[in-house]
Amino acid sequence: MRPANEALIVIDVQNDFCPGGALAVAGGDDIVAPINALLPEFPVRVLTQDWHPAGHSSFASSHDGAEPFSVTQMPYGPQVLWPDHCIQGSDGAAFHAGLATDRADLVIRKGFRAEVDSYSAFFENDHTTPTGLEGYLRTRGVDTVTLVGLATDFCVNFSAVDAAKLGFRTRVIESLCRAIDLDGSLSAARAQMTEAGVQIA
């Protein structure tokens, strides 16, 4: 068991990000068993769940004529438009059936406001609206976080960069993540994480 100040944060290991899902990430399900093996090592265990209402503003289908994976301008900046995914209560939004969710202390949902996406476990994509995770971790005495999950270049990246900016010692285990890799987004994500002081293991 790791010391009491360490949390494992498992990002978005949900059916829609696994093979066969609406926004499938190649090999997304390969990481389930090793994540299960890692969970008991950590005294604080958090899962995140992408959780969008139908018609969410990050869906290409909500923008006339927009193709999935194109980029639009939102009031808070550029936003990739995704296929409909992780709709609240759907099978796609459920955790992968093999994930040991019973071992989690906290499930934090994000992306539930129709007009703002939320890649990060800490802040919505406006970079100001908090999810509450920072307070949860601090009040439990956590100052060091390890991140794993989906997808490396979006939700893991944004979460890790925010964690480091908030002052948490932050590590990403890249072998327990899988990437979407849209137009070089994986190499950009690695650079952003390194720049923010995230340790990539």
User: Is residue 165 annotated as a catalytic residue, yes or no?
Assistant: no
State yes or no: residue 122 binds ligand VGL (CB under 6 A): no
Annotated catalytic residue within 12, 16, 29, 84: 12
User: Is residue 155 annotated as a catalytic residue, yes or no?
Assistant: yes
| SS3 at position 40 | helix
Nearest to 96 by CA among 33, 160, 7, 175: 33
State yes or no: residue 82 binds ligand VGL (CB under 6 A): yes
Which residues lie closer than 8 Å to 172 by C-beta, 6 or more apart? 146, 147, 148, 152, 156, 160, 193, 198, 199, 200, 201
Nearest to 49 by CA among 103, 118, 141, 100: 118
Q: What token pair was written down for 155?
A: 């939700």
Which residues lie closer than 8 Å to 90 by C-beta, 6 or more apart? none
Nearest to 109 by CA among 86, 135, 91: 86
Query: Would you say 106 or 140 has its CB closer to ligand VGL?
Result: 106
Nearest to 99 by CA among 35, 21, 11, 181: 35
Q: How many residues sit close enough to Zn ion to count as binding (CB under 5 A)?
A: 2
User: Is residue 12 annotated as a catalytic residue, yes or no?
Assistant: yes
State the nearest-atom distance from the C-beta of 178 to ligand VGL, in Å. 10
Stretch that binds ligand VGL, among 34-42, 124-132, 150-158, 181-189 (CB under 6 A): 150-158
The binder of Zn ion chosen from 6, 16, 29, 50 (CB under 5 A): 50
State yes or no: residue 32 binds ligand VGL (CB under 6 A): no
Query: Would you say 6 or 12 has its CB closer to ligand VGL?
Result: 12
State yes or no: residue 47 binds ligand VGL (CB under 6 A): no
State yes or no: residue 84 binds ligand VGL (CB under 6 A): no
State yes or no: residue 31 binds ligand VGL (CB under 6 A): no
State yes or no: residue 95 binds ligand VGL (CB under 6 A): no
Residues designated as active site: 12, 110, 155
